[in-house]
Structures are given as C-alpha cells and as structure tokens.
Chain A
Amino acid sequence: MIRSRRNEILVAYALMAPFIAIYAVLFVYPSLKMFALAFTNAPLIGPGDWVGFKNFQRLWSDRLFWTSVWNTCYFVILSVIPSTVLGLVVAIAVNRLTGWLQSLVLAAFFLPYILPVSVVYRIWSWMFDKDFGIAQTVITPFTGGEHVSVFRTLPLFMPAVAFVTIWWFVGFNALLFIAGLRNISCEIYEAAELDGAGDWTTFRRITWPLIWPITALVMTIQLILQLKIFDQVYLFANNVRTDATMVMVQYILKQAFQMNKGGLAAAASMVLFILIVGVSVLQFQLLRAKGER
C-alpha cells in the first residue's frame, strides 16, 4: 500500500514535470523578475541599481505615459460596450434562424474573428483607403465630397480602430451569447406564453436575467482583451505619429526597446498588470452581485 502510494506520487510528478518546468521558467520567474525590475534602473538587458519607487514617480510625471493610459481607456470605452451589445443583438437574431441559413449567417459574422490581425489590417486599410477605398463612398456624403484619410486624421483614428475591432470580435461575442441562450430551456418560454407574457416581458423577465451572467462574462473577456490593445493601433498608425496614438503596451515596448529602459518598462507593465487584474476582479464581482439580485 505504501509502495503504491509512493508510486502514485512519482507518476504524478512525472506527468507534472513538463508543466512545472515550463511554468517555473516562463511564468513564475518572469513574473517575479518583472516585479523586481520595476524598482531598479536596469537597462533592457543587464543588471541595475535599486531605486525604490522612482520609476513609478517618473511614470506619474511622464505625459506620454498618461497619453497611453488615456488612449487605452478611450479605446476600451469605444470597443467593449458596442461589441458586447452588438454580440447580443446578433446572437438573438441568429438564434431565431434554423438549419443551413443559421450556420451560414453565423459563419458570416464569425469568420472575421478567425483571421490574423495583419489580415484584418490589410482588408480595412484597403476598405478605408483615401484614394480608392470603397468606404469613401459612405464617408464622402458627410464631408461634402471630400475624401478622408481615416487613419491619419487624429480624431478619427481611435474610433476607426475600435470600429474595425468591433467587426473583428462581434462574431466571437455572438457565439458566447448563443451558447448562453441555448442553455435556457424552451419550457420556461412556453410557461411564460401560457401566462400571457408579451415579447418584451418575456425578454425582460426571463431572457435578460438568464443572459446577464453571460453578458458579465463577455464584457470581462472583452475588457481584459482590449486593455492589452497593441496590434491594431500599431499597424494602423503605420509608424506615423505614434506618440499621439500611443497605447500602454506600445509605451512599454518603446521604453524597453527604443529607450533601453528595462526598469521603467517593467514599472509600466506593473501598472497595466494591476489595471487588468483589478478591473476584471471588480467588474466580475459587480456584475455577479447584480445578476443575483
């Protein structure tokens, strides 16, 4: 018996070995290292001296850092709520359909999500192209026939990137909502109909309370995802005027790889880290509390 118990532990560690090795080297060590680095003046590669909270003070007084925080939050506001709401709308619309039409429509909404960001970037920079983009036919009536370079006009940049991001993610969100809608049993609806509940009442009293946990989930996923925004902003800005459109991950990369300030970059990473963990925990609790009521 003791022998087989020892055997079990041995087998368990043999199976855990790759996981332990990978996590120790690529997760635990880099996390602790990032934490330590944030309090030093180290360059990107190599040792540095302990400087206490100086890096954080420097971030506090760096206007570019605040620009990046603001741009990140602005992008999150522009993208998270619309993509969640649209996801729900699409889910309800798709859920009504049946058979091949449903699969086809769902695929049409979902296909963008499966594409790499660089492909999304290429497609939309062609759509919005200043000279020959097909989207200019939609834009020109508002500008009096003037073609607009959407990604080079500062006030339009973030909304346009958010728009593309919403297009990219709406099918993904819809899919999660559809999964949630399918979990609601038909009997509840039949019972409601017998009680004479109208469509609106049914939605408000049955669908919404049951769909609320999924909404919380989708919004949390989106929020965490979009706080990490970098790819689209970097690609669409195309190395032009990056300071004005800078987002947090971009700021971290700039400090680390262009300025060779590993310590400062680590401090900025910590701020992003705390922001993501804090916001997600807070939002999840908040939404859960509301859903339970």
Chain B
Amino acid sequence: MSAAAGLADDAVAAVSARRLSRLRNVNLLGLVATVATVLAAIVCAFPLYWGLITTFKPEDEIVRPGVQLWPEHFTFQNYWHVLTTTKIGVWYVNSLVTSAGVTVIVLAMAAGAGYAISQLDFPGRRIFWGLILASFMVPIPALIVTHFELMSQFHWINTWAGVIAPQLIAPITVIIYKQFFDSVPKDFREAAAIDGATEFQLLFRIYLPMNWGITTALAIITFIGAWNLFLWPFVAVTTDDQMNITVGITQVHDAFGVSYGRDLAVAMLAALPVAIVYLVFQRKVTQAIMLSAGIKG
C-alpha cells in the first residue's frame, strides 16, 4: 500500500520536476520571444512614427541624410501651410457629412430590417434574408459602372448624396443585428406584450437599448469604413469642392510640387479622426471587426 503511494508520489515528483525544468527553458525562450515580439511591433509602428515626426521638421532637416528621430527645430509650418492654402477644410466637411450620413442611414436601416427578420413573421421574410446573404457575396466595385450611371441619372454626381448612396449596401450590419436580436430572451417580449407594448415600443424600449453596445460598435466601424473609402468617392466626385479628404489629399501633391513635409502633414490630418476614434474606442473597434468577420467577440 505504502509502496504504491510512494510510487505515485515519485511519479508526481517526476512530473513536477519535468515541468519545472521546462518552465525554466520556457522562461528563457519566452523572454527571447517577448523581446522579438516587441522589436517586431516597433518595426511595424516605425513608419507611422517616421511619417508623423517628419511633418514637424523644417524642409531642410527632412532632406538631410541619416536618421534623425527628433526634429532639431520643431515646427508647425507644414500644418499651417496646408491648412491655409489647400481646401482641406472643405474636404473635412465633405468626409464628415458623408461618413456620418452613411453611418446613420445604415444603422437605422439595419436595425429595422434586423428586427423585422429576427422577430416578426411576414411573407417574403426568407426571400429578404436570402437577398442579404446574396449581397454579401457581390463585390461592390463590380457594380461601379451601373452605380455611376444611376447616380448620374439622379444628377447626384458631385454631391454628398451621390457619395453616400452606394455605400448603403451593408448586409453585414443587418446580419449582426439579426443575430443579436435573435439572442434576446423571449420572456422580455412576452412580458411586454402582456403589458400591451407595440412592436415599435418593443424595438425602441427593449431590443435596441439591450444591444446598445453593439450599436455603438457598428456605428464606429461603419464611420471608419466610410471615412477611409477611396474608390467610390474617387469615381463619384470630379470637382475639388466636393472631394472627400481621402481623395482630396492625393491632389495636394500635384498642386504644390514635391514637399515631403506638407504631403505628410495633410495625410496626418486625414488620418487624425480615425486614429482618435480607434484609440478611444479600441475595444469597440476590435469587437466590431471580429463580429463582421463572423467571429463572436
């Protein structure tokens, strides 16, 4: 009996000794891996830092050979120049209005459709659901010719409406809303129905507030997507005054000749809103990205 127990003790001791030695190995290896990871992260983020720091250097320092990690003479000259001589203010407003427009309309449309498909029974429900899943497969750039034709029939070329409209095809938002509304317990619905609540009250008082977190996550990711979009605003707008900032800043180069500091300064200004939104709402952004990729976050 005691021999058996001793054997078992030995076995446990052997396992823990093996573990300990492996732990030590892992610690050394782990340290190396951690250092390598951090170094890789620094290398990956370096272009961002380099782009940013260049905007604070005067032009003669920018073209100086060698790696100068901090400007000798810190200057806002580049920013001042692009703010006063380009139409960046107008482009900002255009981007802001169209991105906010896309966000509001997409969310309103998706919440309504998601609720109807998830909670209500009506003829055509399956067809609409099929249509949503089908539109998920269609590459929107393939529709660019007919979208352009349609927008010009509406006389919406070079308008905010024209930039917004084709971006409203956002099946993933409807799909996510439906999934989240599906998972709201039926008890709430029955209790509220007994109290005589209408469907609209159910949606606005129970279903939407319960999924407030997902609404903000979707709003943030939709806004960032709309702000960053290049192809459609590039096609739909031909005049300087109606350009979005992502398109507009690629024009500055042509207008002022080569000036690295100014080119980068205007780019940093274009990136500023999305960078701030990301840094403030990091968790929401990552959650929304995982959700739209089909992984529960």
Q: Which residues of B contact A30 (CB under 8 A)?
A: 143, 146-147, 150
- Bound form: Cα–Cα A256–B297 in Å: 41
Tell me the minimal C-beta distance from B114 to chain A in angstroms: 9
> Nearest-CB distance from A22 to chain B (Å)?
5
Q: Nearest chain-A residue to B269 (Cβ)? A: A119
Tell me how many residues of B have a C-beta within 8 Å of chain A: 95
A116 touches B231 (CB 8 A): no
B271–A115 touching, CB < 8 Å: yes
- Residue in chain A with minimal CB distance to B108: A18
B260: CB under 8 A from chain A? yes
* Complex alpha-carbon distance, A12 and B263, angstroms: 51
Contacts of A266 in B (CB 8 A): 145-146
**Among all A-B residue pairs, the 7 with the closest Cβ atoms:** A122-B267, A19-B113, A12-B122, A30-B146, A108-B41, A15-B112, A123-B51
What is B's interface to A at a CB cutoff of 8 Å? 15, 19, 30, 33-34, 36-38, 40-42, 44-45, 47-48, 50-51, 54, 62-63, 65, 67, 105, 108-110, 112-113, 115-117, 120-123, 125, 128, 131, 135, 137-139, 141-150, 152-153, 165-166, 168-169, 174, 198-200, 203, 224, 227-228, 230-231, 235, 245-247, 249-250, 260, 263-264, 266-268, 270-271, 274-275, 278-279, 282, 285-286, 289-290, 293-295, 297
Report B-chain residues with C-beta under 8 Å of the C-beta of A25: 150
CB-based A-B contact count at 8 angstroms = 260
**Contact of A228 (CB < 8 Å), options: B139, B267, B268:** B139
Using a CB–CB cutoff of 8 Å, the interface residues on chain A facing chain B are: 7-9, 11-13, 15-20, 22-23, 25-31, 33-34, 37, 44-45, 90, 93-94, 96-97, 101, 103-105, 107-112, 114-119, 121-124, 126-127, 129, 131-132, 134, 137, 167, 170-172, 175-176, 179-180, 193-194, 214, 217, 221, 224, 227-228, 230-231, 235, 249, 252-253, 256-257, 262, 265-266, 269-270, 272-273, 276-277, 280
